[in-house]
Structure 1
Amino acid sequence: MIFFKKKEILLKDFFPEGFIDIHSHLLPGIDDGAKDLENSIQLISKMSSYGIKNFITTPHVLGDVYPNSSTLIKNKLEELRTELKKRCINDIYINAAAEYMMDEQFSKLLEKNDILTLKDNYILVEMSYFSAPMNLYDIIFEIQLKGYKPILAHPERYKFYHNDFQQYYKLKKAGCLFQLNLLSLTEQYGKGVQKITDKLLKEGLYDFVGTDTHHTNHLELLKKIGNKKTFEKINELLKSNSNTFK
């Protein structure tokens, strides 16, 4: 256990060596994250200054809005890796998976086994902020039937579960792992999300964390988690990322 004398902690001391961010939007120009290659490098450089140097970045795969194919994602990853090398940025490890919306398109990709995993059989999934899919538990079952382990991105942000907390236990029982958005520890998504985040933490329902970085504003806000109290809450989850995805 690391002990800090001061209440405030610099992020470069907050994240353990070898920490792997499993949720971000750093590939250039394919979703609502990095706008272009220059922006990708800017975001990665800022995160590197925080001590985050290992990434499995996860562009959206979302119906007709972000119909990113596995091939496109891999090509964009190589483009970014080439640019990092060109700029002699050699201390960054970056791979790519995807953040899959659990919709009809995802079901088709699942059927074809056309899935980019975070590592081994872990896949990052999300659902609409308005409501869960009608066939949510069928989809979760199909994911596992195909041999994958679903990690649900930012469960605290699905407000339709806030007044029915038992649904979180039901999801866990169904085999869903939970990934906390680090900015949910702040008021970035509202006090309601912050409150549910604390409850999910106290109940020990989270498995992993991610920054869900889209832009520089997110990275400025991330500084707010740099304190002893927050570190003590999520230290084991930070380690879980490192141990599972190294």
Structure 2
Amino acid sequence: MMDALLRLGIDQFYATPHVFKRLYPNDQASIAQAFQELQPSLQGHGVRLACAAEYMVDADFEALLVSAGNPLICLPGSHVLIEMSYLEESLRIEQNIHRLHELGYTPILAHPERYVFYQQSPERIKRFKDLGCLLQLNILSLYGYYGQREQKVAEYLLNKGMIDLVGTDVRQQRHVSALAHYVKKEDVSGYFKHSPLQNEALFSIA
């Protein structure tokens, strides 16, 4: 997948495996081990790779925030990528965001355009900006890969200047193939004129 993305001009990657106890019981040790196992295959490919995690905001995540002595797996600058179920808002999302700030983290809410409970009223997403969250868009949403509702919300958030970061969210080869197809078919750079991206400024890999 990284070879295919490299051909599209992407040479820096942050792998962010899910941390969701019921489905993906990852932790610092399992992610670090997987990252180390991948390193030999990257030699000579011109790829720069680092890793963090994407946390499901649920009761298990809340338990991690009980004390500052249980550090999260972060992107640079203590940025923490979080998500919710696509179908139901996390019960204590605001309290958990406040707690992240108290512990010195900056939360990044992943793919806000894909949460179905906001799609009829996307203006509700602004409250996350007001709470100090950065918002990360899935680039495939903008091409309509996930559906028209996701595409419309993505365009709305970009036009309102609310998007800070963009991610591929690729998990398998079909996602990479779709991205390669759409990149050749349509230039979406104009959508970002009101939402300057901070990927390079915040997360460039030396």
Unaligned runs of 5+ in 1: 1-42
In structure 2, the residue corresponding to 1:76 is in which secondary structure?
Answer: helix
Task: Calculate percent identity across the aligned residue pairs.
Answer: 35
Deviation at 1:197, TM superposition (A): 0.7
Q: Give the number of aligned pairs.
A: 201
Determine the C-alpha separation between the residues in 2 that align with 1:235 and 1:127.
28
**Which residue pairs with 1:222 in the alignment?**
179
1:233 corresponds, among 186, 191, 200, to: 191
Query: What amino acid sits opposite 1:124 in the alignment?
Result: L
Moved over 6 A (4+): none
**Which residue pairs with 2:100 in the alignment?**
143
**Which residue pairs with 1:113 in the alignment?**
70
Query: Structure 1 residues 235, 113: closer, same or farther in 2, change over 3 A?
Result: farther
In structure 2, the residue corresponding to 1:120 is in which secondary structure?
Answer: helix
Kindly indicate whether the alpha-carbon contact (under 8 Å) linking 2:161 and 2:195 is maintained by their aligned counterparts in 1. Answer: no
Q: Does 1:169 align with 2:126?
A: yes
Query: What amino acid sits opposite 2:86 in the alignment?
Result: Y
1:209 corresponds, among 161, 166, 176, to: 166
Q: Does 1:99 align with 2:57?
A: no
TM-score (normalizing by structure 1)? 0.77
CA RMSD in angstroms, aligned pairs only = 1.7
Greater relative contact order (CA < 8 Å, ≥ 6 in sequence): 1
Q: Does 1:72 align with 2:30?
A: yes
Name the stretch that deviates more: 235-244 or 184-193.
235-244
Determine the C-alpha separation between the residues in 1 that align with 2:22 and 2:185.
40
Query: Structure 1 residues 236, 227: closer, same or farther in 2, change over 3 A?
Result: farther
